[in-house]
Amino acid sequence: MTPAIDAHVRLDTHPTHPSAVQAVLTGSQAHVALMALEAADWSVAATNVLILARIDHEEPYWADDAAKQLIADGITVEITPQLQEAMDEEWTWANYPMPWCTRSEIREISNQAQKVHDDIRHGHLLIHAHAHDGHTTVAVGTYLRRDGKSVYLHGEDHLRQIADTFDSPAKALLAFEKVHAAEMRPGPAPLTDTERAAIGARSVFDITTAKSEPSHPEPETVPVYLADAGDHDALLDTFLNAHGEFEKWRTWSDETTHAIHESQTLRIEHVHETPAHETAWTVAAYATPVSDRMWVLTATGATPAPVLQELLNHLADGDGWDTGIGVPMDEKKVTAATQPLSDAGWQHTLDGRWIRWTSPDGDACVQFDAFTAQHLTPNLATWTIWAGPNSDRRNWTITASPHTPSSLLADLSETLANEVGPRQPQPQRHAARGIGTVNPALTANSTRAQGR
């Protein structure tokens, strides 16, 4: 028998959205339930409040599925009568364009459309262009964090499907332009009413009144690689306001901002509210607007603001983007990229395929992988920059591919070696995230959910 977890989940209908579902979490182990629901694509709307809002209006079905999984994991689940009624209801789409499909087949088609929707919302699927084919919306995009395939999308909301796939953005864009040149528009299509409603459902619980904050001691000055992350959103906004040659557009979900240089050969992606150790920034350079990447650099959510500022400053200079595909990283380029570290007394060591430059206190490192540097694949992480207690406990990480310009890496090395930044003393952390306790016995509603 699965041990009971001290977490209680109350599932109820959304107060304003007709099909969305809300979950309110309590208990000393509420964070366990929170992580489980986030993994099932529920969105955090406030402290211990999550929302399931989909574009296929199947929220009660998937809430029921989530309830069963939570119960199986030993979490107490309460389902309100009105939500249970929605879960039990059998309904069909009016005028569904594929009337031969069974209800389960319709739900599967809708769920695939939901996955595409979520990939776009989370910034995993970058939409290059869209058009209207006379009947519905079509679009072309590329997956950034899966297999890298480019896709042709047909339809809207719960009817959107991947109609074709391509090996590269260039092939996809050329095929799309051949058919839709007259109606083709850059970026994603305007939001549908259904998409807007889902956004509204997830944001209805946003806390708009600021809470009084306790006074903080003055920040200390530390080496730049130990500085605070600062406000990445403000950093990007300031950069874009100062450099009109970059065109900004933000995904309809408001989760990701893309900045594309007027030449269409340099692209910056910033995912907002990214956890400290996950990729928040992706910078990629291309030989032409429709070619494959020449080089790519990523930075995690806790990367210090002064380091990112130096990166953006270099990109604003407008030179050094094209390093030449097929030209291996040689000793001269490695030396040029790391000379500031050597000049500042960083320790230089060789360990098989890896060459490392470590800060005097051992809390930051620049690592070069000589093996991947010889590959022609432009997306391999050849350079790794990190700071933290050790390589297994990194505070933040930057990675860069083989053909990243040595001038850019030299600028970053100069910043790491010689600059300082502010660090606010960290408040004392509390172990428990949830509050209160609950009876581990299943409620009547949760038992009913388990048996359905």
pLDDT above 70 (res 449): no
Q: What is the mean pLDDT of residues 256-267?
A: 90
In the block, tokens 């000379």 appear at: 339
In a domain, 217, yes or no: no
Q: What is the mean pLDDT of residues 364-370?
A: 94
Residue 50 and residue 146 in one domain: no
pLDDT above 70 (res 182): yes
Residue 84 and residue 121 in one domain: no
pLDDT at 392: 83
Q: Which of 162, 183, 199 is the last residue of a domain?
A: 199
Cα–Cα distance measured from residue 111 to residue 54, given in angstroms and rounded to the nearest whole number: 9
In a domain, 207, yes or no: no
Residues 178-216, buried b or exposed e (16+ Cβ, 10 A)? Answer: eebeeebeebbbeeeebbebbbebbebbeeeeeeeeeee
Structurally, the chain folds into a number of domains equal to: 3
Residue 233 and residue 181 in one domain: no
Residue 228 and residue 152 in one domain: no
pLDDT above 80 (res 433): no
pTM above 0.75, yes or no: no
Residue 387 and residue 261 in one domain: yes
Residue 371 and residue 444 in one domain: no
Residue 276 and residue 237 in one domain: yes
Residue 255 and residue 323 in one domain: yes
In a domain, 44, yes or no: yes
User: What are the tens digits of pLDDT across the range 62-82?
Assistant: 999 999 999 999 999 999 999
In a domain, 270, yes or no: yes
In a domain, 211, yes or no: no
Q: What is the mean pLDDT of residues 88-97?
A: 81
Residue 162 and residue 291 in one domain: no
In a domain, 213, yes or no: no
Residue 370 and residue 444 in one domain: no
pLDDT at 393: 86
In a domain, 263, yes or no: yes
Structural domain that includes position 145:
103-199
Task: Name which of 59-73, 150-164, 211-225 the model is least confident about.
Answer: 211-225
390 pairs with which residues across the strands? 393
pLDDT at 301: 94
User: What are the tens digits of pLDDT across the range 328-357?
Assistant: 578 888 999 999 999 999 999 998 899 999
Percent of the chain with pLDDT over 70: 86
pLDDT at 307: 95
In a domain, 208, yes or no: no
26 pairs with which residues across the strands? 8
Average pLDDT, the chain: 84
pLDDT band at 293 (very low <50, low <70, confident <90, very high): confident
